[in-house]
Amino acid sequence: MAAPSAVLKSEWTKVRTVSSTMWTLAAALVLTAAVGALLSGVMNATYDDLSRAEQLTFDPTLVSFFGMMLGQLAMVVFGVLVVSTEYSSGMIRTSLAAVPQRAAFYVSKVVVATLLALVVGLLTSFVTFFVGQALLGDHSASITDDNVLRAVIGAGLYMTVITMFSMGVAAMLRSTVLSLGLLMAFFFLISSILAGVPATRDVARYLPDQAGSAVMQVVPGALDSDKLPYGPWGGFGIMCAWAAAALIGGYAVLKKRDA
Amino acid sequence: MIELEGLTKRYGDKLAVDHLTFQVRPGMITGFLGPNGAGKSTTMRMMLDLDNPTAGSVRIDGKHYRDLQEPLKYIGALLDAKNMHGGRSAYHNLLCLAQSNRIPASRVAEVLDTVGLTAVAKKKSKGFSLGMGQRLGIAYALLGDPEILMFDEPVNGLDPEGIHWIRNLMKSLAAQGRTVFVSSHLMSEMALTADHLIVIGQGKLLADTSMAGFIRENSRSYVRVRTPQPEQFKDAASAAGLSVSLREDGSFEIEGADMAEPVGELAAQHRVTLHQLSPQQASLEEAFMQMTAQAVEYHAHNLNDPGAAAAAAQADPPLAQNAPPAPGQQGQGPQWGKGD
Ligand SMILES: Nc1ncnc2c1ncn2[C@@H]1O[C@H](COP(=O)(O)OP(=O)(O)OP(=O)(O)O)[C@@H](O)[C@H]1O
Ligand SMILES: [Mg+2]
């Protein structure tokens, strides 16, 4: 078997030597922070227009993470490209000839991209939080308030697990276009539509992004939303289960199918 | 040494590779010849454990590919010039592959120099021409300084200078005692480089023979004669003990390499007029085409004569000992056709 550290090093070189890594991760940070800042500013200015119930459950931490709606899409692109470009370029054959042990290859690739996503995710979540709170003025939260630090770290973890889920889906579909088409449509449209329609709301709560975003809430039932059937870490756990299932599916495809 | 044992690959109901059993030996260049779609690339992918065989196995020095420690140090392969990430530079494409097998970074610069890509090492490989991509693929194959090298149509896209270079490279690798396995669909290319020849058609083994043996058996020399007095010529030749055969177009063929002179003198003695007296050599390409005629999948159809291809496919097997089996005998394995 190829030495694990050697394969990790190889995958790290792969990730850092393509320009898509830089621009997708930068886009994730900028989009999340900028859109969060914008919406925080708007919320601060229109706070008095909120209903009484919304004011009572006002969650400044969650508000500063509203930009995640867009920022997560950049993480999806990052996760998909890390895997799918192996297939679209034909590099997969060269890579597997060099590391024929599928598990070593796959785990190394996923670990390297996950660690990078974790670093960028945490950086993004802290930057986003502090910028957002600065713009929320009198309505802001402090990092030392109860559960706020958990929510900020949770936002970084959320971005990391979105990336892992995307890698698993890309490993199953083996195509950039298919994976991006499916995941973009899912996270940007389908998930929010299902969560918005009363008939499907209860089911939609268990979708990876809906469940995972519970970890970013500090106030239960924030902004007068429905109470969730799981806690912050429970929701995050559901999201992790989705990512694990996708990654296992991706591994099964890699192991079984011809390269 | 690479050993294939009953290697088979089925796509749907199509047998792309059909019970291939042969060995690729060290110290020589083994040519892997077959027409388009014969199954050469599929076989090579299975040799690298990229595609799963439907049946059979491949062993590299007795081991399965997946059990090799740092395989680039055992076997280097060029499959397709495009099998690199276009957004990465040539140098970084090779570096990440080298690192996975603990090959020092200095070796990357070395192989880039060997293939003549040093000047463009930092350029993204998607801008490379086909020939440059081919050279990058060859650099990858050489990376681990392996004992076994495998090239799938390496001359594809190379200019004449590049073709000359790859030929010499393969010869020097074989001269160092390495195993070199190279595919092509051009007999003429193989005749110039290969020491041993493996021919397949529609996934089946058609021949496993030394190049010299193949040339001996298949390069026929003869003299072609045209004459307005065929009867007199035939009598005179028979009387002189020459073996003469009459062709459909009315010309004669006399077997032998240096027969033009004696045939000319014979004609003069018997006052037979000759319109043509020319030494001929059946090309190896012809021999290869005849051998694979029945196994060629994608016949080019003559627009004026749509029946031509069908007729060619039904022609008698010209090389009896190497001919593919009749349809009823298919699937009996590759025991036939091992003439050397
Ligand atoms: N992934 C695949 N799915 C289905 N059929 C395939 C696949 N790969 C190859 N084939 C078929 O298997 C046969 C052998 O193809 P292969 O590419 O191995 O031939 P080849 O000898 O390399 O031909 P060429 O000289 O054109 O490169 C062809 O009929 C091809 O269509
Ligand atoms: Mg081929």
Average pLDDT over every residue of A70-89: 96
> DSSP states of B113-170 as a string?
HHTT-GGGTTSBGGG--HHHHHHHHHHHHHTT--SEEEEESTTTT--HHHHHHHHHHH
B85 touches chain A (CB under 8 A): yes
pLDDT at B313 over 60: no
CB contact under 8 A, A10 and B49: no
Quick one: pLDDT band at residue B337, thresholds 50, 70, 90? very low
Distance from CA of A103 to the nearest CA of B (A): 11
Among the partner-chain residues A2, A11, A18, the one whose CB lies closest to the CB of B70 is A2
pLDDT at B70 over 90: yes
Residue with CA nearest ligand 1 atom 10: B16
Which amino acid is it at A17? T
pLDDT, one tens digit per residue, over A234-246 is 999 999 999 999 9
Distance B38 CA to ligand 2 centre (A): 8
Distance B58 CA to ligand 2 centre (A): 19
Lowest mean pLDDT, pick from A83-92, B72-81, B244-253: B244-253
Reference A223, options A69, A72, A61, A36; nearest CA is A61
Place of tokens 């500090």: A218
CB B69 within 8 A of CB A95: no
pLDDT at B294 over 90: no
Range of the domain at A212: 4-17+72-121+145-256
Quick one: pLDDT band at residue B295, thresholds 50, 70, 90? low
Contact list in A for residue B49 (CB cut-off 8 A) is 96-97, 100
* Direct distance between the N- and C-terminal alpha carbons of chain B, in angstroms, rounded to an integer: 19
The contacts of residue B22 (CB under 8 Å, 6+ apart) are B4, B198, B205, B208, B334
CB A203 within 8 A of CB A194: yes
Residue A183 domain-assigned? yes
Place of tokens 């070593």: A104
Buried b (16+ CB within 10 A) or exposed e, B276-311: ebebeeeebeebbebbbbbbbeeeeeeeeeeeebee
Query: What is the average pLDDT score of chain B?
Result: 85
Residue A25 domain-assigned? no
Q: What are the structure tokens assigned to B79, written together? A: 């499959």
Q: How far is Cα B322 from Cα B339, in angstroms, rounded to an integer?
A: 7
A103 touches chain B (CB under 8 A): no
pLDDT at A255 over 50: yes
Reference B35, options B215, B311, B293; nearest CA is B293
A5 touches chain B (CB under 8 A): no
The fraction of chain B above a pLDDT of 70, given in percent, is 86
Domain count, chain A: 1
For residue B318, what pLDDT is reported?
A: 38
Residue A92 domain-assigned? yes
Residue with CA nearest ligand 1 atom 8: B42
Reference A217, options A152, A132, A135; nearest CA is A152
Q: Is the CB of B38 under 6 A from ligand 1?
A: yes
Average pLDDT over every residue of B228-239: 90
Q: How many CA atoms lie within 13 A of A229 on its CB side?
A: 8
Domains of chain B, earliest start first: 2-74+146-216 (3.40.50.300), 220-281 (3.30.70.120)
Q: How far is Cα B103 from Cα A13, in angstroms, rounded to an integer?
A: 14
- Which residues of chain B from 189 to 228 reach within 8 Å of chain A, CB to CB? none
Distance B151 CA to ligand 2 centre (A): 10
Residue A156 domain-assigned? yes
pLDDT at B339 over 90: no
Distance B183 CA to ligand 2 centre (A): 8
Q: How far is Cα B105 from Cα B73, in angstroms, rounded to an integer?
A: 14
Q: What is the CA radius of gyration of chain A?
A: 19
Q: Is the CB of B329 under 6 A from ligand 1?
A: no
Number of residues written out for chain A: 259
Quick one: pLDDT band at residue A127, thresholds 50, 70, 90? very high
Secondary structure (3-state) at B15: strand
pLDDT at B306 over 60: no
Quick one: pLDDT band at residue B211, thresholds 50, 70, 90? confident
Cα of B286 vs its chain's centroid, Å: 13
The contacts of residue A112 (CB under 8 Å, 6+ apart) are A8, A11, A12, A14, A15
Secondary structure (3-state) at B314: helix
Which amino acid is it at A199? A
- Which residues of chain B from 37 to 56 reach within 8 Å of chain A, CB to CB? 45, 48-52
Residue A128 domain-assigned? no
Give all strands of the β-sheet with B14-24 in edge-to-edge order: B14-24, B2-11, B55-60
SS (H, E, C) chain A: CCCHHHHHHHHHHHHHCCHHHHHHHHHHHHHHHHHHHHHHHHHHHCHHHCCHHHHHCCCHHHHHCCCHHHHHHHHHHHHHHHHHHHHHHCHHHHHHHHCCCHHHHHHHHHHHHHHHHHHHHHHHHHHHHHHHHHHHHHHCCCCCCCCHHHHHHHHHHHHHHHHHHHHHHHHHHCCHHHHHHHHHHHHHHHHHHHHHCHHHHHHHCCCHHHHHHHHHCCCCCHHHCCCCCCCHHHHHHHHHHHHHHHHHHHHHHHHHCCC
Quick one: pLDDT band at residue B249, thresholds 50, 70, 90? confident
**Of residues B192 and A248, more confidently modeled:** A248
For residue B301, what pLDDT is reported?
A: 57
Residue A117 domain-assigned? yes
Could you tell which of B7, B10, B11 is best to mutate to test the pocket of ligand 1, judged by most ligand atoms within 8 Å of the CB? Answer: B11
CB contact under 8 A, A97 and B86: no
Average pLDDT over every residue of B16-27: 95
Residue A196 domain-assigned? yes
Place of tokens 């109470």: A227
Q: Is the CB of B36 under 6 A from ligand 1?
A: yes
What is the pTM for the complete model shown? 0.85
Average pLDDT over every residue of A10-27: 96
Distance B184 CA to ligand 1 centre (A): 14
